[in-house]
């Protein structure tokens, strides 16, 4: 039996993905077995699948204070971001400038880079040392050629909350479209989507299954679909609907709404603050991102003289799952561009640890984790001090004398 099979797992990587809620799973199962039919068919069971899809759409629309026809289901956040940006570009060929921030998720940044190759000009707005984008700078860059401003709500690595309502208001005044990637905030923070033109979200970040999400598109916005086919989702997203996934998203949103109403985030925030306060007591640490404009579930801390990957692997040995940066970039050992954007050098950016809490986490897990991090940091620092002693000029002699 492998180590992890015996060990209790403490899952602290909820910004990467979340466990599926039991209630969510229960709600979706009938749509694999008894009611697997295509939602576009005419017979009774097909109509039942359609009814389930529309019920979920209504739950999501009500939650966001918008109307059902403004919700277009997609395969997740990446597709929603692609649809928002490429779709608006396709439908409005007269305008060729896009404004975004340097700390967006790759599904926004890479889409913008793709459009740059098609002749678009993209302005990547820097962030301050807390990771907050400058509203003034965005305002300054908007001109007659500006098609779209896209700024994320909550950053996936450092958890900073951006002033999206203020940016949306500027865009409204200047008659420029505003899109927000709300993948890390949807279902956690209360959002009135009617203030925005486009908003992306994903199911698997809120205890729903992977492979489902949506794009909110305000009525009247000129946008084209980017997938050609059968014209599902009002022609905006061809492809047979992922009925079970859509049902699971509706249920996950109902549960999320209850949690927001019951202010359950306050408990998670207390756990977050405990981790931050305890880890900052270790010498040579710094909190990345903002202390107060920060989602209740995110901790991102840099440790001097530590490789983040080594720390993650030592914690993994203790059954603790967390990450160094975003999951999407963790296969590359390049320093996080988000951490570099807030002013960390290669060194600080390499030694960072991201802990993202979920509803399932409790105080006992957090106490255990804090203790294990303290031990792991001390161990790794001792190893690098020993290596340095050995390899410094005269160090080996010094070693022999000991
Ligand atoms: C901010 C942000 N946007 C977009 C995505 C992509 O979402 P999905 O995994 O559903 O494609 C992620 C996923 O990590 C994210 O954190």
**Are 7 and 58 part of one and the same domain?**
no
Mutate to test the pocket of ligand 1, among 13, 85, 107 (most ligand atoms within 8 A of CB): 107
- Cα(100)–Cα(150) distance, rounded to whole angstroms? 5
Residues 138, 237, single domain; the answer is yes
Quote the pLDDT of residue 397. Answer: 46
Domain co-membership, 230 together with 323? no
Specify the CATH number for the domain of residue 271.
3.90.1150.10
Q: Is residue 402 part of a domain?
A: no
pLDDT at 194: 97
- Any atom of ligand 1 within 6 Å of the Cβ of 181: yes
Q: How far apart, in Å, are the Cα atoms of 283 and each of 273, 278, 286, 303, 323?
A: 18, 11, 9, 8, 21
- Summarised one tens digit per residue, pLDDT across range 70-108 is 999 999 999 999 999 999 999 999 999 999 999 999 999
Residue closest via CA to ligand 1's atom 4 equals 77
Last residue of a domain, one of 260, 280, 301: 260
Pick the residue whose CA is nearest to atom 16 on ligand 1: 156
Q: Is residue 62 part of a domain?
A: yes
Closest-lying ligand 1 atom to the alpha carbon of residue 155:
1
- Torsion angle, CA of 97/99/104/109, rounded to 10 degrees? 10
| Co-location of 232 and 365 in the same domain | no
Task: Tell me what the mean pLDDT of segment 309-315 comes to.
Answer: 95
Domain count, the chain: 2
Mean pLDDT, residues 129-150 taken together: 97
CATH code for the domain of 80: 3.40.640.10
Which atom of ligand 1 sits closest to the CA of residue 79?
A: 11
Residues 11, 153, single domain; the answer is: no
Measured from the CB, is residue 80 less than 6 Å from ligand 1? Answer: no
**pLDDT at position 327:** 45
| Of the listed ranges 40-44, 74-78, 127-131, 289-293, the one predicted with least confidence | 40-44
Are 311 and 354 contained in the same domain?
Answer: yes
The active-site residue out of 112, 321, 322, 328 is 328
Return the pLDDT at 333.
62
Of 232, 207, 223, which is closest to residue 53 (Cα–Cα)? 232
Asked if the structure places residue 400 within a domain, the reply is no
213 lines ligand 1 (CB under 6 A): yes
Q: Which of 220, 244, 260 is the last residue of a domain?
A: 260
Q: Residue 341 domain-assigned?
A: yes
Is it the case that residue 155 has pLDDT exceeding 70?
Answer: yes
Same domain, 272 and 253: no
pLDDT category of residue 135 using cuts at 50, 70 and 90 = very high
Whether residue 328 lies in the annotated active site? yes
pLDDT of 5-36, one tens digit each? 578 999 999 999 999 999 999 999 999 999 99
In this structure, the answer to whether residues 164 and 121 fall within a common structural domain is yes
397 is a domain residue: no
Say yes or no: 220 and 320 in one domain.
Answer: no
Same domain assignment for residues 347 and 383: yes
Q: Which atom of ligand 1 is nearest to the CA of 202?
A: 10
The minimum-distance atom of ligand 1 relative to the CA of 107 is 4
For residues 42-54, average pLDDT: 94
The residue among 198, 232, 260 that closes a domain is: 260
DSSP-derived pairing of the beta strands 146-150 and 177-181: parallel
pLDDT band at 347 (very low <50, low <70, confident <90, very high): low
Q: Is the CB of 232 under 6 A from ligand 1?
A: no
pLDDT digits (tens, 9 = 90+) for 260-307: 999 999 999 999 999 999 999 999 999 999 999 999 999 999 999 898
Task: Examine the pLDDT at 113 and tell me if it is beyond 50.
Answer: yes
- Asked whether the beta carbons of 152 and 124 are under 8 A apart, the reply is no
Residues 246 and 328 in one domain: no
Do 369 and 244 sit in the same domain of this protein? no
Model confidence at 402: pLDDT above 60: no
More confident residue, 384 or 378: 378
184 lines ligand 1 (CB under 6 A): yes
Structural domain of 8: 3-18+263-391
CA of 316 to the centre of ligand 1 (A): 23
Lowest mean pLDDT among 51-65, 210-224, 388-402: 388-402
Q: In the prediction, which pLDDT does 390 show?
A: 76
**Does the beta carbon of 349 lie inside 6 Å of ligand 1?**
no
Average pLDDT, the chain: 93
Residue nearest to atom 14 of ligand 1 (CA): 16
76 Cβ closer than 6 Å to some ligand 1 atom: yes
Contact 155 CB / ligand 1 (< 6 Å): no
Q: Report the pLDDT value the prediction gives residue 380, as an integer from 0 to 100.
A: 95
């Amino acid at each position: 039996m492998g180590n992890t099979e015996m060990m209790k797992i403490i899952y602290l990587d909820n910004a990467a993905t979340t466990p599926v809620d039991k209630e969510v799973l229960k709600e979706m199962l009938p749509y694999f077995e008894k009611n697997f039919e295509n939602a576009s068919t005419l017979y009774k069971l097909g109509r039942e699948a359609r009814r389930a899809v529309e019920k979920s759409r209504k739950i999501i629309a009500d939650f966001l204070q918008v109307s059902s026809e403004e919700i277009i289901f997609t395969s997740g956040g990446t597709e929603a971001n692609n649809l928002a940006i490429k779709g608006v570009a396709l439908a409005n060929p007269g305008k060729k400038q896009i404004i975004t921030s340097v700390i967006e998720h790759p599904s926004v940044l890479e889409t913008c880079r793709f459009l740059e190759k098609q002749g678009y000009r993209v302005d990547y707005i820097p962030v301050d040392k807390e990771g907050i984008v400058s509203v003034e700078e965005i305002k300054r860059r908007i001109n007659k050629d500006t098609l779209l401003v896209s700024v994320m709500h909550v950053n996936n690595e450092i958890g900073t909350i951006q002033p999206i309502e203020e940016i949306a208001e500027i865009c409204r005044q200047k008659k420029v479209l505003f899109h927000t990637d709300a993948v890390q905030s949807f279902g956690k923070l209360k959002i009135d989507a009617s203030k925005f033109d486009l908003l992306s979200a994903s199911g698997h970040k809120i205890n729903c299954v992977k492979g489902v999400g949506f794009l909110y598109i305000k009525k009247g916005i000129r946008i084209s679909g980017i997938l050609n086919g059968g014209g599902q989702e009002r022609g905006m997203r061809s492809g047979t609907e992922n009925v079970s996934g859509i049902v699971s998203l509706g249920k996950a949103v109902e549960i999320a709404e209850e949690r927001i109403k019951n202010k359950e985030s306050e408990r998670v925030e207390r756990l977050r603050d405990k981790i931050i306060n305890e880890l900052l007591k270790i010498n040579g640490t710094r909190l990345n991102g903002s202390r107060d404009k920060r989602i209740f579930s995110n901790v991102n801390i840099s440790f001097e003289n530590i490789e983040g990957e080594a720390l993650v692997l030592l914690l993994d040995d203790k059954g603790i799952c967390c990450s160094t940066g975003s999951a999407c970039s963790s296969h590359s050992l390049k320093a996080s561009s988000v951490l570099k954007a807030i002013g960390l050098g290669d060194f600080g950016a390499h030694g960072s640890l991201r802990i993202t809490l979920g509803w399932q986490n409790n105080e006992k897990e957090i106490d255990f984790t804090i203790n294990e991090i303290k031990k792991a940091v001390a161990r790794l620092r001792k190893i690098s001090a020993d290596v340095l002693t050995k390899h410094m000029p005269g160090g080996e002699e010094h070693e022999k004398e000991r």
